[in-house]
Amino acid sequence: MEQKEILKGIIPPMITPLNKDFKIDRKSTEKLVDYLIDGGIHTLFILGTTGEGPLISKAEQFKLAKFVVEYTEGRVPVIAGVSAPSSLEVLKNIENLNESGLDGYVSTLPFYDKTNLKEEIKHFEILAAESELPIIIYDIPVKVGQRLSEKALENLVEVDNIIGLKDSSSNLRNFRERVEKFRHKKDFSFALGHSDMIDISIYLGADGVVPSDVHLFPELCVEIYNNAQKEDWIKARKLQSELNKKRIELYNSFPAQSRANNKVCKKHLKAKGIIASDYIMAPYI
């Protein structure tokens, strides 16, 4: 498998099925993996934001990664979030997952103190140098407290073992500028992390999309992507509008305190009988 393929297509930021003791629910995880793969997705992204990765113990992180890789049996690539407040803590997460058989790691900037330009670059250079698997940069200002700077990205696209960017910055103009500026880098991929813009993502040059709503409507998300790939923009736009309407109706059906993506996804998946419970890592409800 080429590294570029890891960030191509529809990439679910998979929720983590939990029991009431906050341990991994293996049976539910099996059903969820099959449900997503049967829906046509291209890569599984575990332990990310929607997957509550930083909230889960290292022991359970490893159990989940190893189990998902083994159960998937190579049907699709599996990548995992390893984000933490410091570079050294990210490296500990990588070391913890090293024997699980993953295809790559995804990391944000550190998220306790803000970093300057040199520190942004240094963080990912450290990860790229120490990791045996490829590193994907995750730009999500709402969780980290700052955006990845353009100057940092300009440097990092040239670093060996850094293969792509998952952009969840909610800035389409900036995303377009990033793609156009670095489109010539054939070994560097771009994915957008927004469910309501799958068609636009591909139109702007993204290789893949990481939509949490793929938990709710997997076939529809994949169909939007497939039509966008074929440059049938009218069909893709029509399907995207259908998805957006459905997602708004579904999200509005839940109480305001349950509007976070992973909470709604878990409640919906439980109602469909795919997972056994909708537990969220304590103290969140």
Residue 210 labelled as part of a binding site: yes
Q: What is the mean pLDDT of residues 51-55?
A: 95
* Residue 3 pLDDT: 61
Domain ranges of the chain: 3-271
Active site residue 92: no
Choose, from 8, 31, 138, 263, the residue flagged as catalytic. 138
* Residue 4 pLDDT: 53
Hey, what are 170's tokens?
A: 């909610």
Residues 6+ apart with CB under 8 A from 248: none
Residue 50 labelled as part of a binding site: yes
Choose, from 8, 31, 166, 266, the residue flagged as catalytic. 166
Q: Do 199 and 236 form a contact (C-beta atoms < 8 A)?
A: yes
Residue 285 has pLDDT above 80, yes or no: no
Active site residue 138: yes
Residue 204 has pLDDT above 60, yes or no: yes
Going by pLDDT thresholds of 50, 70 and 90, the confidence category of residue 186 is confident
> For the segment 92-104, what is each residue's pLDDT rounded down to a tens digit?
999 999 999 999 9
* Per-chain mean pLDDT for the chain: 94
CATH 3.20.20.70: does it fit domain 3-271?
yes
- For 155-187, the DSSP string reads HHTTSTTEEEEEE-SS-HHHHHHHHHHHTT-TT
* Residue 283 pLDDT: 86
> For the segment 217-246, what is each residue's pLDDT rounded down to a tens digit?
999 999 999 999 999 999 999 999 999 999
d(Cα 57, Cα 35) in Å, to the nearest integer? 25
| Chain centre distance of CA 264 | 17
* Residue 262 pLDDT: 86
d(Cα 9, Cα 125) in Å, to the nearest integer? 27
